[in-house]
Amino acid sequence: MTIKYEGGCLCGAIRYAANKPPSRTVACHCTFCQRFTGSAYNIEVIFEKEAVELKGDDLRTFDKRSEGSGKTVHVHFCPRCGTAVSLTFERFPTHRAIMRGTLDDPNSVKVDRHIFTQSAQNGMVLPAGIECFEQHPLALDGTPREGTKFDAPHEISR
């Protein structure tokens, strides 16, 4: 049986399907994600790029240089309704992030880590038992960083 993750934009002009499971699902609290979503954080479902097939209209792209890494993040969105559908990354060229809210079944994937929690907004609650990173889990040289798992839910208060 082939695993398939499907979804699309708000108006339906963009559809996609991924034929492999995601490598991870990340709740990102960086200020970039807060701005582009207009919310407190973004949930990204990370797939190998070749596992994702895009259908319909061509996505438009907005490029933004990351203040942290200096590498470009590409925001791909529907030209009709403006829905942000995916991200690609200069730093991680073999992967594509799909916005969890665009999945037909967003509950088919579970968040397995929270990143850039140093930028998380006041009142955000980080869950118990899930790895949380103040920054990206990988340093710029590719060295893994150590995360924190809270024993109980942890509220951000600055």
For residue 94, tell me if it sits in a domain: yes
- Asked whether the predicted pLDDT for residue 115 surpasses 80, the reply is yes
Cβ atoms of 126 and 120 closer than 8 Å: yes
pLDDT in tens, 116-149: 999 999 999 999 999 999 999 999 999 999 999 9
- pTM score, two decimals? 0.93
For residue 156, tell me if it sits in a domain: no
Query: What is residue 67's predicted lDDT score, i.e. its pLDDT?
Result: 83
For residue 110, tell me if it sits in a domain: yes
Percent of the chain clearing pLDDT 90 (strictly above): 94
Average pLDDT, the chain: 95
For residue 158, tell me if it sits in a domain: no
Its domain, for residue 125, covers 5-150
Count up the domains in the chain and report the number: 1
- We report the CATH number of the domain holding residue 144 as 3.90.1590.10
- Alpha-carbon distances, residue 95 vs 10, 47, 52, 82, 98 (angstroms): 23, 6, 9, 22, 10
For residue 81, tell me if it sits in a domain: yes
Backbone angles phi, psi at 38, to 5 degrees: 70, 25
For residue 155, tell me if it sits in a domain: no
Burial class from Cβ neighbours inside 10 Å (0-12, 13-18, 19+) for residue 125 reads exposed
- Spatial neighbors of 92 by CB under 8 A, at least 6 apart, are none
For residue 103, tell me if it sits in a domain: yes
pLDDT in tens, 26-65: 999 999 999 999 999 999 999 999 999 999 999 999 999 9
Strand duo 60-65 + 5-8: pairing: unpaired
For residue 120, tell me if it sits in a domain: yes
Percent of the chain clearing pLDDT 70 (strictly above): 99
Query: What is residue 105's predicted lDDT score, i.e. its pLDDT?
Result: 97
